[in-house]
Amino acid sequence: MKKAFSPRLLVAALALTLGFAANSFAMPRGEHPGPGAGMPGHHAMYNDRAMVRLHDELKLDAKQEALWKDAERFAKDQRDGMKDRFGAHHDEIKAMLDKPGADLRAVVRRMDELKAEGAKQRDAVRERWLSVYDSLNPEQKEQARVFFKTGMDRMERTAQQRGDRPGRGQSPKGRPTTEQTAPAR
């Protein structure tokens, strides 16, 4: 039995194919959308060029410069080790799941432990940078405040333009969130 495809079906299939192809070329290889550790958009306002600009604007004294370099080196070491740790953690979780009869509670518990470990490492990096902030004089602290406020404003504008950041209590499509539709207890 011979089936003929309608022109409408062929056009729809072509449009979908072109849409997927265009989307795959829109993003550089190896990058994934969305903010997440190690992903583009994750703390975009803290990118290297912006931090170099802030460093230059602050005109640090010798003590502040030493703290800055220490925080910078510590953050780089943590970032460099993150990829290896993530790969090892991924392999560990996968090995747990590959075992027949794997206890999902144990897997989730291990994932939570790994998440807590990552949070501790991020907190340690943040504390190093906050020690730099604590060493600043009032004028430098104001420069830092303006730097981060400007970066946050830029990120919010970009997210709103892309439609990524819903308003408070709204889903991305403008629908109420589950908190708004759930019955009160």
pLDDT interval class at 43 (50, 70, 90): very low
List the structure tokens of 106.
């144990």
Q: Report the distance separating Cα 113 and Cα 129, nearest Å.
A: 25
Number of domains in the chain: 1
Examine residue 152 and state whether it is found in any structural domain, yes or no: yes
The pLDDT value given to residue 70: 95
Q: Report the distance separating Cα 158 and Cα 155, nearest Å.
A: 5
Nearest CA-CA partner of 47 in 154, 174, 159:
154
Detail the DSSP E strand segments found in the chain. Answer: none
Are 41 and 35 spatial neighbours (Cβ–Cβ below 8 Å)? yes
pTM across the whole model: 0.58
Flag whether pLDDT at 29 surpasses 50. Answer: no
Pairwise pLDDT comparison (49 vs 178), residue with the higher score: 49
Per the structure, the complete domain to which residue 67 belongs is given by: 42-161
pLDDT tens digits along 106-142:
989 988 988 898 899 999 999 999 999 999 999 999 9
Pairwise pLDDT comparison (144 vs 49), residue with the higher score: 144
Q: Of 45-59, 86-100, 133-147, 165-179, where does mean pLDDT reach its minimum?
A: 165-179
Mean pLDDT of 67-85: 89
Pairwise pLDDT comparison (1 vs 160), residue with the higher score: 160
The pLDDT value given to residue 13: 55
pLDDT interval class at 39 (50, 70, 90): very low
Flag whether pLDDT at 28 surpasses 70. Answer: no
Average pLDDT over the chain, rounded to an integer: 75
Q: What is the CA radius of gyration of the chain?
A: 24
Nearest CA-CA partner of 99 in 110, 107, 88, 111:
107
Examine residue 104 and state whether it is found in any structural domain, yes or no: yes
